[in-house]
Chains A and B, each alone.
Chain A
Amino acid sequence: MSIRTRLLLVNIGLLAAAFIGTLLFAGSQITAGLRADYQQRLVSEIKLIAQGIAPTAAAFARDETTDADLAAAFAPYEAQIGGTLRLFFTGRSIEQYAGENTARNTMPRPEPPEIEAAVTDEPIVSQRVAKDGTLHLFTAASIILNGNRIGLVQLNVPTSTLQGLIAQRWVVLAAGMVVLTGCAVLVVVWVARRILRSLRQLQESATRFANGDLDHRITSLSGDEIGAVARAFNTMAERIQSMLVAQHTFASNTSHEFRTPLTAIQLRTDALRRSPTIAQDAAARKYLDEIDMEIARLTSMVQGLTLLARLDADRLELGRDEVDIVRFATALRQQLLPQAEEKSIRLVLVVPDKPLYIQVNLAHLTLVFRNVLDNALKYTPGGGEIRWTLVSEGDTIVHTITDTGIGIVPEHLPKVFDRFYRADRARLRDVPGSGLGLSIVYSILQAYGATIHIHSSGINQGTTVTVRWRFQRPSYEPFA
């Protein structure tokens, strides 16, 4: 469950619980107050009524007025309160009373509590079920005339009146609470969104950085905990960027440091080769050729190491130059011919007779094919053949480099592209090289979207390397 959901659920849940609790508590307090007030009011009313109907009651007791007159006298009071009045006579006998206003019935035993209280001159209100089955409130007061108690008057009202009042209050209260809760929820949601937005910005920044935008930093820094994380992120980003830049710079600097002495050596071996004495010295010429090979190998390694560093740092710049691969292959073969002739290896190149263009950095291309061909030369014994065929199949250029060399044991085939992998250390100890070559070749080709497969039927069965490289139509309008 997301933080957002959790936050909202918990907060809104708590709010709702708090508000409902408050609602219930306040409600019950108000209800109690209302009830007390109402009862108070009933008591006041009955006392007033007792005073007001005293003369009429006295007359009724002397049989000077009819039941109807009594009912008429009661009517206004009953209408005002919404209840029913009854008279009880004392004097001759408490048992006699005018029930339902006019009929003469017996007082029920035991005496209801409000009747007892009325006799003591401190009226109370009592609640019980009336004859019609509903709850009623009863109260009664003494009727005093000329200092004598001549009777009691009882009032009963259905509780529905009171309930109505209470219900009204509850409704108002509840409505108010709903509005308050609504506002509170909105505030909670708004605050949650603010917090989560900061979090989301943090997430976006991290993703951007991870995808390569190393300059990106979080600029809006708040003072809270998320701001602290943002600050920590910026510091981390700074460190990582410097590390990658340092790695890249190191790679470039190293490359530069090696290339200068290599150039110095190359120019001197070239110069030596031009010397007349050396020109006649076959052994010397042979050594010079070998030195050339080693320089080429060193150059390859230097390029390879810097490339590896850049590939690791994910900062390889792909070249966009259009190179005619046919022309390139021809030139590379030319360069390797002396090496091949050394071992009497036939180096054959089969190419189409029209140019084929691919977009690549020339140095990367040289590294790839130089490596593959160097391997072929290394692992093919004297007198063998290396055949490099170049064909275009649809939109892909397919290179097939086959040699008649010592081959690769099938179990080793999947591992040949691993870094520092050498198929058989004991066997190949005479063959120099760092084992890095094929892993670099693989990485470069992969960066350009090309593929390489190596196949061998086994020991001494030769090896075939297949490189597939998609080529583009040359872009004739570079500024379109």
Chain B
Amino acid sequence: MVTIVVIEDDPLILHPLADALREHGYTVLTAGDGKSGLEIVQNRQPDVVILDILLPVMDGWEVCKAIRRTSVVPILMLSSLNEEVDRILGLELGADDYLTKPFSTRELIAHIKALLRRVEFSTPRTLPNVMDFERIRIDLNRRVVSKDGRELTLRYKAFELLALLAAHAGEVVSRADIFDKVWGTDWIGDTRTLEVHIRWLREQLEDVPGQPQFIQTARSAGYRFVGIAKS
């Protein structure tokens, strides 16, 4: 049962949006301003947060930052502005995705599905539920990554990304494949999202993020996870 919190101050948009999501089978909780929205997110721990930028009391940027202090829940920001600056700011502050108004319900659902998507591995049966490497341990069931025994907090998509790369440890996974598997084939967006996620991963995972040891870039090909498997 997937729960979505929608924080949008214009009822003209909030109501049909919430209805549409419910008709697709999601449980929807709504808030008309930033502050109450934040409270609901903190109390109810939803699976996805849809957040408008222009909100009364506390604007979308502030809500996003506040949520990020305690949670890695995927956040999709809605906006009337399509300024380059705003989109980058959104990603930097912690949004996982950004959708410009007007959008169709179809687009919205596609983006939500992309956010919630669990990476499908080609051979799920033979894949263990835990991937154990020197220093790094990825628990697919509990969705937990630990490094040197210490648990890391990874964002939703970042975890998916790591899991995909680790499942192909040593091999280069192309960017196109990463998009298809982690975000979905019907997701249209820019590659900056991928860059930002790779950076987040490195900041969490690497000893020195500037000199990546585990997540390596393979020029003009894609990315590769380097880890020595413990048998």
A contact residues vs B (CB 8 Å cutoff): 252, 255-256, 259-268, 270-271, 274, 292, 295, 299, 303, 317-324, 327-328, 331, 354-355, 357, 361-363, 473-474, 476-479
Question: Contact string, B205-230, partner A, CB cutoff 8 A, digits 1/0?
Answer: 00000100000010110000000000
Q: Is B190 engaged at the interface, CB distance under 8 Å to the other chain?
A: yes
User: Do A331 and B80 touch (CB < 8 A)?
Assistant: no
Q: Does B199 lie at the interface of the complex (its beta carbon under 8 Å from any beta carbon of A)? A: yes
Contacts of B150 in A (CB 8 A): none
User: Contacts of A317 on B, CB cut-off 8 Å?
Assistant: 83-85
Q: Are B13 and A264 in contact (CB under 8 A)?
A: yes
| List of A residues within 8 angstroms of B191 by Cβ | 321-324, 357, 474
A252 touches B81 (CB 8 A): yes
Q: What CA separation (Å) do A310 and B104 show in the bound complex?
A: 26
Flag whether B56 is at the interface (Cβ < 8 A): no
User: Could you say which residues of chain B place their CB within 8 Å of the CB of A263?
Assistant: 13, 101-103
User: Cβ of B128 < 8 Å from any Cβ of A?
Assistant: no
Q: Which residues of A contact B188 (CB under 8 A)?
A: 327-328, 331, 362
Q: What is the distance, in angstroms, from A291's C-beta to the closest C-beta of chain B?
A: 11
Q: What 1/0 mask marks residues of chain B from 121 to 141 whose CB sits below 8 Å from any chain A CB? A: 000000000000000000000
- Complex Cα–Cα for A331 and B16 (A): 25
Q: Given known contacts A267-B16, A362-B188, A479-B199, what 7 new A-B pairs fall within 8 Å (CB)?
A: A252-B83, A256-B80, A270-B16, A270-B104, A323-B189, A327-B188, A361-B84
On whether the beta carbons of B175 and A355 are closer than 8 Å, the reply is: yes
User: Known contacts A260-B12, A473-B220; is A363 also within 8 Å of B100 by CB?
Assistant: yes
**In whole angstroms, what is the CA distance A266 to B175 when docked?**
33
In the assembled complex, the Cα of A256 lies from the Cα of B54 at a distance in Å of 10
Complex Cα gap A264–B80 (Å): 12
Give the chain B neighbours of A324 by CB distance below 8 A.
176, 179, 191
Listed A/B pairs (26) with beta-carbon separation below 8 Å: A252-B81, A256-B81, A259-B102, A263-B101, A263-B103, A264-B10, A266-B103, A267-B13, A267-B17, A268-B16, A270-B106, A271-B16, A271-B19, A295-B102, A319-B190, A321-B190, A323-B191, A327-B176, A328-B188, A331-B186, A355-B175, A363-B82, A363-B100, A473-B220, A476-B217, A478-B199
- Residues of B169-204 contacting chain A, CB below 8 A: 175-176, 179, 186, 188-192, 195, 199
Chain B, 91-114, contact with A by CB distance < 8 Å: what is the 0/1 string?
000000000111111100000000
Chain A residues near B189 (CB-CB < 8 A):
323, 362
Given A262-B101, A263-B13, A476-B219, decide whether A320 and B84 contact each other with a Cβ distance below 8 A. Answer: yes
Rounded to whole angstroms, the CA-CA distance of A321 and B88 in the bound complex is 10
Given contacts A317-B83, A476-B219, are A266 and B12 in contact (CB under 8 A)? no
B220 with A474: CB separation less than 8 A: yes
The residue in chain A whose Cβ has the minimal distance to the Cβ of B10 is A260
Chain B residues numbered 39-85 whose CB sits less than 8 Å from any CB in chain A: 54, 80-85
Q: Which residue of A lies closest to B8 (CB)?
A: A263
| Nearest chain A residue, comparing its CB with the CB of B180 | A327
Let me know if B120 is at the binding interface, CB within 8 A: no
Assembly CA distance A262 to B20 (angstroms): 16
Is there a chain A Cβ closer than 8 Å to B148's Cβ?
A: no
Question: Which 4 A-B residue pairings sit nearest by Cβ, starting from the closest?
Answer: A321-B190, A270-B105, A267-B16, A322-B191
Which B residues are in CB contact (< 8 Å) with A363?
A: 82, 100
Contact residue among B85, B176, B190 (Cβ-Cβ distance under 8 Å from A323): B190
Q: Please, which residues of chain A bring their CB within 8 A of the CB of B19?
A: 271
Point out the residues of chain A lying under 8 angstroms from B87, CB to CB: 321
Q: Across the interface, do B190 and A362 meet the contact criterion of CB distance under 8 Å?
A: yes
In the complex, A274→B21 CA distance in Å?
12
- Cα(A322)–Cα(B160), bound, Å: 21
Residues in B1-25 with C-beta less than 8 Å from chain A: 10, 12-13, 16-17, 19-20, 23
* Chain B residues, CB < 8 A from A299: 102
Interface centre among B82, B85, B217 (most CB of A within 10 A): B82
A362-B189, A473-B220, A476-B219 known; A264 vs B106 contact (CB < 8 Å): no
| A323 to B192 CA separation, bound complex (whole angstroms) | 9
Q: Which residues of B contact A252 (CB under 8 A)?
A: 81, 83
Say yes or no: A479-B210 contact (C-beta < 8 A), given A260-B10, A295-B102: yes
Indicate if the CB atoms of B175 and A264 lie closer than 8 Å: no
